């Protein structure tokens, strides 16, 4: 069966959905091809944080735009996405961490972000039950926040369908056809053919595998990360708490429900696509949270799961054109796909249609120097 579309997007996570939404706003006929179902991958396994606190100026610009768009969705478009600006608090337990945060804050303040380095006492005003032992302070931005990844993704998809776009679930892309170094269409494992002059790779941790279909080496590697959600408790803190120590973690209390969700980056990293949960994480994550907020010592865990980060060598996404005409990338989000999606989807759509940059997407090009790494990864 042959289907004709202006744009075909591979992947129905939040990045693919956001990109499709903005392309459909231009009146283009959009198809999204998903090997499972929307949010089945990394989007449905993330903990919902959204921050502007980065050390890389292009990423800061990107995130300022994402925060603006999320606010517009909720306040102007009346989307129910549980967007709440409770802030992000990055805790510093060493002089090196403090120095890194102060350097980053200097850059962030150049973009008029209301970021400051707080004393331990000031941190406790935001998180009253915070354990200040060994704490030197923390970087805090009150306009960072949290959003519901499921609700955001499905609002995008609803609007795509309203704009005559089509979502194809449970179809795995097995072949991408090219002619004279231009994409002309793709084929799925259901023997369906989709004709299109533009194909966008939003396949998350599977972006590298999609790249192989056009003989393109995309430097994206999957890593397993685990997360937990706790029982509902009284509201203890409004912000995402981030501890970057080797045995640190990050967690946030959901504003609407009172559940706490959290995760940490394993050391060493766990490469691959495995979604298995570990007993080690089940024991270790609550311990790490309780070290920061002792009141959480007796909290009960409701559920544990794993998901994939799509990592690049420098910790920044890969967005834009490739050597194959009409084949675009919007991948390599390094665990930040949810927060990047609004702005990066809008910017890529604008570039594809108008060949104009509304954000510095060239900084995220496949052809960039990957040696400069993001400090606040």
Please give the tally of structural domains in the chain. Answer: 2
CATH number at residue 237: 3.30.9.10
Q: 130 and 240, same structural domain?
A: yes
Which domain range does residue 129 map to? Answer: 86-143+221-311
Q: 225 and 113, same structural domain?
A: yes
Query: How would you write the chain as a 3-class SS string?
Result: CEEECCEEEECCCHHHHHHHHHHHHCCCCEEEECCCCCCCCCHHHCCCEECCCCCCHHHHHHHHHHHHHHHHHHHCCCCCCCCECCCEEEEECCHHHHHHHHHHHHHHHCCCCCCEEECHHHHHHHCCCCCCCCCCEEEEECCCEECCHHHHHHHHHHHHHHCCCEEECCCCEEEEEEECCEEEEEEECCCCEEECCCEEECCHHHHHHHHHCCCCCCCCEEEEEEEEEECCCCCCCCCEEEECCCCCCEEEECCCCCCEEEEECCCCCCECCCCCCCHHHHHHHHHHHHHHCHHHHHCCEEEEEEEEEEECCCCCCEEECCCCECEEEEECCCCCHHHHHHHHHHHHHHHHHHCCCCCCHHHHCCCCCCCCCCCCC
Q: 215 and 159, same structural domain?
A: yes
pLDDT at 375 (0 to 100): 62
In a domain, 57, yes or no: no
Q: 227 and 139, same structural domain?
A: yes
In a domain, 108, yes or no: yes
In a domain, 372, yes or no: no
Q: What percent of the chain has pLDDT over 70?
A: 98
Q: 214 and 242, same structural domain?
A: no
In a domain, 80, yes or no: no
Query: pTM for this one?
Result: 0.96
In a domain, 207, yes or no: yes
Q: 288 and 339, same structural domain?
A: no
CB 87 within 8 A of CB 240: yes
In a domain, 371, yes or no: no
Q: 301 and 230, same structural domain?
A: yes
Q: 210 and 318, same structural domain?
A: yes
State pLDDT tens for residues 281-301: 999 999 999 999 999 999 999
Q: 305 and 163, same structural domain?
A: no
Q: 171 and 252, same structural domain?
A: no
Give every CB contact of residue 179 below 8 A, 6+ residues apart in sequence: none
In a domain, 374, yes or no: no
pLDDT at 371 (0 to 100): 83
In a domain, 270, yes or no: yes
pLDDT at 360 (0 to 100): 93
Strands 49-50 and 116-118 come out as unpaired
Q: 130 and 90, same structural domain?
A: yes
Q: 209 and 158, same structural domain?
A: yes
Low-confidence ranges of the chain (pLDDT < 50): none
CATH number at residue 188: 3.50.50.60
pLDDT at 121 (0 to 100): 98
pLDDT at 372 (0 to 100): 74
Q: Which of 268, 229, 279, 223 is nearest to 251 (CA)?
A: 229
Cα separation, 269 vs 238, in Å, equals 29
């Amino acid at each position: 069966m042959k289907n004709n579309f202006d744009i075909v997007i591979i992947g129905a996570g939040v990045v693919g959905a956001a990109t499709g939404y903005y392309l459909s706003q231009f009146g283009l006929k959009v198809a999204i091809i998903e090997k499972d179902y929307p949010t089945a991958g990394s989007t449905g396994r993330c903990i919902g944080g959204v921050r502007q606190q980065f050390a890389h100026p292009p990423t800061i610009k990107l995130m300022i735009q994402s925060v603006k768009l999320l606010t517009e969705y909720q306040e102007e478009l009346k989307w129910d996405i549980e967007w709440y600006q409770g802030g992000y608090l990055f805790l510093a337990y060493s002089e090196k961490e403090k120095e890194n945060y102060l350097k980053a804050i200097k850059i962030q303040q150049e973009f008029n972000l209301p970021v400051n380095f707080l004393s331990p006492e000031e941190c406790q005003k935001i998180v009253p039950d915070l354990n200040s032992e060994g704490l030197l302070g923390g970087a805090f931005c009150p306009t960072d926040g949290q959003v519901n990844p499921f609700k955001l993704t499905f609002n995008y998809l609803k609007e795509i369908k309203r704009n005559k776009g089509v979502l194809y679930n449970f179809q795995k892309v097995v072949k991408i056809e090219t002619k004279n170094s231009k994409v002309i269409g793709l084929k799925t494992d259901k023997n369906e053919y989709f004709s299109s002059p533009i194909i966008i790779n939003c396949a998350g941790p599977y972006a590298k595998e999609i790249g192989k279909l056009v003989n393109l080496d995309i430097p994206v590697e999957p890593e397993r990360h685990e997360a937990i959600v706790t029982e509902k408790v009284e509201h203890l803190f409004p912000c995402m708490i981030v501890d970057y120590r080797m045995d640190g973690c990050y967690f946030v209390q959901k504003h609407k429900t009172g559940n706490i969700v959290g995760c940490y980056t394993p050391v060493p990293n766990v490469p691959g696509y495995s979604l298995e949960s570990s007993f080690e994480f089940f024991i270790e994550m609550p311990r790490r949270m309780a070290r920061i907020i002792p009141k959480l010592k007796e909290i009960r865990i409701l559920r544990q799961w794993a998901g994939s980060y799509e990592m690049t060598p420098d910790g920044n996404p890969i967005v834009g054109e490739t050597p194959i005409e009409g084949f675009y990338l919007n991948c390599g989000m390094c665990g930040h796909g949810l927060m990047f999606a609004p702005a990066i989807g809008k910017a890529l759509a604008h570039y594809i249609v108008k060949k104009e940059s509304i954000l510095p997407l060239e900084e995220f090009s496949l052809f960039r120097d990957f040696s400069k790494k993001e400090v606040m990864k």
